């Protein structure tokens, strides 16, 4: 059924969920199990994101098709149109039609990045799609009512590029939103927000000026870490009220556990206020999950409004007990069983899937054979799992601590926080201001050094700014860039710094953190083969390990296949060892492809065959990405001495 029909038929409260295609195969397998668990919360629909310019088109379609066939939850596929060829749009829609996907979220996507963006040559063609309304009209003209089309809305006003918040105007945006509704859009999902009053003002204006009955889904992003919370709000141009900022004093900002707990309370307050002040008119809340489940499950179970979703769980009087026996096996049984069922604990994977059949949980680790799963997890058990309680809960939320490019590649949340594929992360105008028009390797060295000096706040690969610990190795990094090693990521080593240390600290109080030194950089292929690789081979992998690859897909390492290195970990009271930064083969390969694609995206800022375009494409073709880990974290300077000797 379509989202509009389901919305009209079902009573609230309701939720819907957004996921993005993971960057690795293991992440995809784990996401499918996570989506299966979360489907027990009975979401109205699930959306799957579509990367900028169709960059994740194949993965998006694959994930949407599997979810549509396995989860029995309506799937809504994102579809962006700017920078997209009509053929790719049509192919995506035909694939949706073939697999029974009835719902499309029609988005503009990133603005054109140069005048000849369409084919990146000297002949400029007039694109068919400039705005989301063009995509809505195209779908309606070619498919009629076969698809239910949704569109985006911006409670604070759409912000093009780097405009300041006071330039955002929701009244101006209402004109364009009305055009999309008039063209045939049937539901609206808003951009994320944290200022509940701005959403309420927007929703009231929408009802007064556009439609009294078209569903509006408020977009909510759980707060999983303080830095990513700020980054998401900045990228979305969402204001953060001062009373929310005040909930995160400096001394707790690096403790993700506390930050998440406060974040759950903030989201619950937003939901309760929206539901109350609209008298239940807004009855479905859309979660940008970031492919994580714990925060969403906690919000649903602790919210007075959303917890009603759990009240119709079957067999209310039954309880599921969970314990380990003497053999370490998992024992699960309901309250009426005399002989509890025992399942062997297998440790080859840290993921969990659960099928509930007659109140008994059948637990398997690793890949799930969904063809044998007749039913999905009960709501009670999935909340227990997702909230991290019990044996299963600890396993199901194994990746809830800091995730990012250097997290665990098995995590569905591995990689960028938004899942929209490689991009420069800044507007075209801002890109020119930050990086100018480089025409030589020397110009590139200057750009990277200026970033290290703090003269510019972002590189095409990095927009979070420098961490405090970078100051400890700043001079070494600058020297490396002067020598032609274009550095992306790095960290110094530390041995048992306190978790409250102002430079290295993170996590709960009374803990200790450890780091191996590592560096990641772009190196000219010849420089790698004749200088750096022989040096690393001389020292051997017990001292330094490396991964290297180029844009053509090559890969080499001095480690065994499928190896990994934990380079940041923490030891805390009453907690298992927490590993937050991992350098591993699968994640390196995924990032290698993305990192080189960003060189290609950067080149598109300049017309083909111009000096800047040519330079950036030459780097794309002639450089390799190298990641080096130094294993002796007692020796503070050894990595940097080796590189600079």
Radius of gyration of the chain (CA): 25
How is residue 472 written in tokens? Answer: 């400890």
Q: Which residues are CB-neighbours of 322 under 8 A, at least 6 positions away?
A: 330, 331, 332, 361, 384, 390, 391, 392
For residue 111, give Cα distances in angstroms to 82, 131, 208, 218. 7, 9, 30, 24
Token pair for 605: 């800022």
d(CA 166, CA 178): 22
Distance CA 393, CA 389 (A): 5
Q: Environment class of residue 279 by beta-carbon count within 10 Å: exposed (0-12), middle (13-18) or buried (19+)?
A: exposed
| Residue 337 among the catalytic residues | no
Q: Give the number of other Cβ atoms within 10 Å of residue 480's Cβ.
A: 24
Measuring CA to CA, how many Å separate 523 from each of 63, 604, 627, 640? Answer: 35, 22, 10, 16
For residue 428, what are its two tokens? 């075209």
Set 18, 36, 585, 638: catalytic member: 18
Going by C-beta distance under 8 Å and a sequence separation of 6 or more, which residues neighbour residue 14? 7, 42, 43, 44, 283, 284, 285, 309
Any idea what the Cα angle at residue 422 is, between residues 421 and 424, rounded to 5°?
A: 135
107-to-181, 239, 324, 328, 602 alpha-carbon distances in Å: 13, 22, 49, 50, 23
Instruction: Cite the active site residues.
Output: 18
């Amino acid at each position: 059924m379509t989202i509009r029909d389901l919305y009209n038929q079902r009573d609230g409260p309701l939720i819907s969920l957004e996921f993005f295609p993971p960057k690795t195969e293991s992440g995809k397998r784990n996401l499918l199990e996570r989506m299966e668990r979360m489907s027990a919360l009975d979401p109205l629909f699930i959306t799957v994101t579509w990367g900028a310019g169709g960059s994740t088109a194949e993965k998006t379609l694959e994930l949407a098709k599997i979810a549509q066939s396995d989860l029995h939850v309506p799937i809504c596929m994102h579809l962006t149109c700017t920078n997209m060829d009509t053929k790719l749009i049509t192919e995506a829609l035909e694939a949706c039609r073939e697999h029974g996907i009835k719902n499309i979220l029609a988005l503009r996507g990133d603005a054109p990045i140069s005048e000849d963006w369409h084919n990146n040559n000297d002949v400029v063609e007039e694109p068919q799609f400039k705005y989301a309304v063009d995509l809505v009209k195209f779908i309606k003209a070619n498919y009629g009512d076969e698809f239910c089309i949704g569109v985006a809305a911006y409670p604070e006003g759409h912000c093009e590029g780097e405009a300041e918040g006071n330039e955002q105007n929701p009244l101006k945006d209402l004109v364009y939103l009305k055009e999309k509704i008039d063209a045939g859009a049937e539901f609206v999902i808003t951009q994320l927000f944290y200022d509940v009053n701005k959403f309420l003002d927007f929703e009231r204006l929408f009802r007064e000026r556009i439609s009294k009955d078209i569903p509006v889904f408020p977009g909510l992003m759980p707060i999983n870490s303080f830095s990513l919370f700020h980054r998401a709000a900045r990228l979305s141009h969402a204001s953060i009220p001062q009373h929310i900022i005040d909930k995160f004093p400096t001394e707790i900002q690096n403790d993700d556990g506390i930050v998440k707990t406060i974040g759950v309370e903030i989201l619950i307050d937003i939901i309760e206020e929206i539901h109350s002040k609209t008298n239940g008119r807004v009855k479905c809340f859309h979660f940008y999950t970031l492919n994580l489940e714990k925060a969403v499950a906690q919000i649903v179970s602790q919210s007075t409004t959303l917890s009603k979703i759990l009240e119709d769980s079957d067999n209310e009087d039954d309880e599921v007990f969970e314990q380990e026996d003497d053999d370490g096996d998992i024992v699960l049984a309901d309250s009426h069983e005399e002989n509890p069922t025992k399942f062997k604990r297998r440790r080859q994977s840290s993921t969990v899937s659960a099928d509930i059949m007659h109140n008994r949980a059948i637990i398997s680790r690793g890949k799930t054979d969904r063809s044998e799963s007749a039913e999905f997890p009960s709501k009670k058990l999935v909340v227990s799992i997702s909230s991290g309680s019990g044996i299963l809960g600890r396993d199901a939320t194994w990746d809830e601590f800091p995730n990012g490019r250097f997290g665990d590649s098995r995590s569905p949340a591995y990689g960028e926080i938004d899942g929209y594929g490689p991009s420069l992360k800044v507007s075209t105008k801002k890109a020119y201001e930050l990086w100018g028009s480089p025409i030589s390797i020397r110009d590139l060295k200057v750009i990277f050094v200026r970033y290290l000096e703090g003269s510019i706040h972002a590189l095409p690969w990095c927009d979070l700014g420098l961490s405090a610990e970078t100051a400890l190795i700043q001079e070494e990094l600058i020297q490396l860039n002067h020598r032609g090693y274009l550095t992306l990521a790095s960290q110094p080593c530390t041995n048992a710094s306190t978790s409250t240390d102002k430079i290295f600290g993170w996590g709960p109080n009374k803990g200790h953190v450890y780091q191996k030194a590592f560096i990641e950089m772009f190196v000219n292929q010849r420089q790698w083969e004749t200088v750096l690789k022989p040096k690393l081979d001389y020292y051997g992998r017990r001292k330094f390990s490396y991964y290297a690859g180029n844009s053509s897909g090559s890969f080499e390492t001095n480690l065994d296949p499928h190896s990994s290195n934990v380079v940041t970990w923490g030891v805390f009271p009453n907690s298992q060892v927490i590993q937050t930064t991992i350098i591993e083969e699968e994640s390196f390969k995924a990032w290698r492809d993305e990192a080189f694609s960003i060189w290609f995206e950067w080149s598109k800022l300049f017309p083909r065959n111009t000096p800047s375009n040519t330079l950036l494409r030459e780097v794309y073709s002639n450089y390799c990405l190298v990641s080096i880990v130094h294993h002796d974290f007692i020796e503070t300077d050894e990595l940097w001495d080796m590189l600079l000797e």
